Amino acid sequence: MKDPAKKANTMRLFVAIPVPRPVAAELEDWTLAHKDRLPFRKWTHPHDYHITLQFLGDTTAAQHEELQSSLKEVRSMPLSLASNGIGIFGQPKAPRVLWGAVTGELDGLSALYGRIIAETRKAGFEPEDRPYKPHITLARGFTGGSDMDGLPSAPALREWEADHFVLMRTHMHASPMYETIGSFPLARP
Q: Give catalytic residues, as residue numbers.
A: 50, 135
| CA dihedral sign, ordered 101, 103, 105, 107 | positive
- Length of the chain as a residue count: 189
Distance CA 170, CA 177 (A): 6
Distance CA 154, CA 119 (A): 35
The 3-class SS string of the chain reads CCCHHHHHCCEEEEEEEECCHHHHHHHHHHHHHHHHHCCEEEECCHHHCEEEEEEEEEECHHHHHHHHHHHHCCCCCCEEEEEEEEEEEEECCEEEEEEEEEEECHHHHHHHHHHHHHHHHHCCCCCCCCCCCCEEEEEEEECCCCCCCCCCCCCCCEEEEECEEEEEEECCCCCCCEEEEEEEECCCC
